[in-house]
Structure 1
Amino acid sequence: MGKTVVIAPTTRNEGHGKFVLEVDDEGIVKKGHFMSLVLVRGFERFLVGRAMEFAPLATSRYCGLCPPTHATASSEAIERSLEISPPAAGRLLRELCNIGNHLHDHPLQQILVLPDYVKETQKQRECIIRIQRMRKIGQYICEVTGGEAIHSPFIRIGGMLKNINEPVKRKLLEQLKEFKKIADDQNEFMREAYDKSDVPKGLGDHDLDMMSTDIIYGRSEVYENEYHPGFSEVLPVDYHGEEIGVDASTVIPLINGKIIEVGPRARLKKYGKKIPDEYTKKGCVTINRARLKEIEIRIERGIEILQQLETTAPTITNPGVTGTGKLGIGVNEAPRGTNVHMAKVLDGRITWYKSIPATMWNIPVIGRASEGYHYKWAQWVMRAYDPCISCATHMVVINDGKIVDEQIVRPGFEGL
């Protein structure tokens, strides 16, 4: 006869998630639904009418895990609305700040999945010690380039508020070299753990398309030209059904009418050169492995940026207070995948704003990827995507589980 299994809240992830799994008599998931239970904050609404400089500061408060990606995507959306560009040094520092965030965030995800793959307490402790040192270095990079380890106030419209000096540059190079030594040991440890895992082969397989705009930083023009023409969105009640979707608090973004995966595997599959199949094939363990490869790539790029950076060069372009209401789309590749912000600016103020963080794309994918295996493995799948559920939740107005103002979330509605 089959039944429905509900897992809520999910564990070892950021924010509050919920699985509603339709299973057969053996517990195999036939239809998977994953959704956000986080309360809506309404960022897009309260940005309207505010000074454009407020948007990067506000949207970086979506969450405390990857604020630089929101500040960057927000700034670039406004820059593209104003038709200005940061100086080369400003662009390099932005990228370096975001690399620092990846080098903090990717190891953190390993802590969340660690009990899934490593059972020995002593090995867990040794692993966490390495991870915490890696995270500290990643946050230091964000602190000196972005102004703070968390919310990075130096990321501004027009570039970066200030450059670093030569002593800091040398210290960052030393820190990245230290990071590499620790990461080499940690990545080898995690690869061995994944190899020995009892996770079912193929867990998380799906036939969905993937989306990415760059292997590291993100390119707004790629999203705008390749993907945005096919963008649409549907309400959760239309996607999950009335009974299930009424509890969900994010809309479902689509490309060409289909849900789409974003993140480490998508980036490596599209842009990785000679990347082994173990990082791009199907399955949730592959996503975990892909993060290990991304750490290596980001260390190399961080060192390259520091070697290129001129510490006396200007880092910011004065944006002025112009703007004609043109739509600007800013994209940054967050640790979890493609992060899209859109803005319209008129006379220095926000007239319209919208964002589609990485987890917003992946929420429906997680449900789909849980299908075909026993429901006990659903959270293994979810944790592989490392969902940042708070980042994804700011689109639907709800009250006691009921939608109270559908018009502000209808696809294409300009007031959203």
Structure 2
Amino acid sequence: MPATAWRWPGRRSSRSCCWASVSSMFNAVDVIRTKRDGAVLSDGQIDWVIDAYTRGDVADEQMSALAMAVFLNGMTAAETARWTAAMVNSGERLDLHVDRPTVDKHSTGGVGDKITLPLAPLVAACGAAVPQLSGRGLGHTGGTLDKLESIPGWRAQLSTDEIQRQLSSVGAVVCAATTGLAPADRKLYALRDVTGTVESIPLIASSIMSKKIAEGASSLVLDVKAGSGAFMKSTSDARALAEALVSIGKEHGLGIAALITDMSVPLGAAVGNAVEVAESVAVLQGGGPADVVSLTVSLAREMLSLAGLSDVDPAEVLASGAAYETWCRMIAAQGGDPDAPLPKPKHVHVVSAPSSGVLTSLDAYAVGVAAWRLGAGRTRKEDPVQHAAGILCHAKPGDRVSAGDPVLELHTDTPELVEPALAVLTDAFEIGAAAPERKILLDTVR
């Protein structure tokens, strides 16, 4: 038996006479009506509809109707947990066998959110194993894989054996998830995006947790963002999502905690792809912006606590250089050259301060959209990204600037993209007498 095994829990063949008799008990219209009328779906209804939709026996228009019914009427905690389990059971599940405790991290996405890059090698250098299966950017939020692909030679696609070997030898792997993990979620996620049902907390929570449970780590820390650059704009909405995520994790036996963090201002000074890699390396080498360092260490402490390694101080490990050494090994293990020069933009445009004073605000959403328009992000999943595209924030709220000082530096390989990026930055920052104090860690849910 190999060290890593792929299991197909709960999959049932449509040709099975037993499954045929069970499937005859349910139909899509009755399931839709149940939720449309505000009733609670049974475990059998949930299991059937997720399985049937994955196999193509429930049509997209029927699942669209059900998703809208869930959006309008919600789901109980028990329904959401069962929905998540059904999506996990729709595909493969990674069974990890390493000599270290396994702990994962997931962020709900933001602007300049490169935290996975320094965090994974830091936690690995502290003694845990970090299987970080990540995704690509879409719209104004960047993707971890897009950032790492700025590094010459680095590859995102790994086999299960490669994941296992790298976790055992390096302690950290950041790579793409296989198509076999939670295929029901992949279908439903695409459907929600075009049916106006993305904002449903039960559907968001089950989408996130189905993939994380299928990845096989024994514990998980969530970074739930709140603010203009986040999916959840208010702290109260972010807390509701965090509580739903933690509840599902506990139902499935995960050690789990959620940090609610501010995303009203971009994280760090770099927003984009190569620029975020460079900033992450600076953090691993003992420098970098204070907010990136602070959040990285806070998340690392929470991860180490869940992994039973709370006696290790991640701040000391970061300062020692051990996390940077782990980074170099992690990048090299995936074919990348950690010493290779990163891509540079062909065109740079500077946005200067129109007056003197203190930068009082810098809107994360506007900066994220501008970076996207410069080529750092994509509109469709199949679109390419420019690795050199992005924005450097030369000033952050609280910094004093003089008229003519650079505030934002726009990077792109396509000069004609500067004008549409500037259009969204018109009111992106303000200059006044003083800036309000910013708190990055807003709350914790356990």
Fold-level match, TM-score > 0.5? no
- TM normalised by structure 1 equals 0.25
Higher relative contact order (CA 8 A, sep 6+): 1
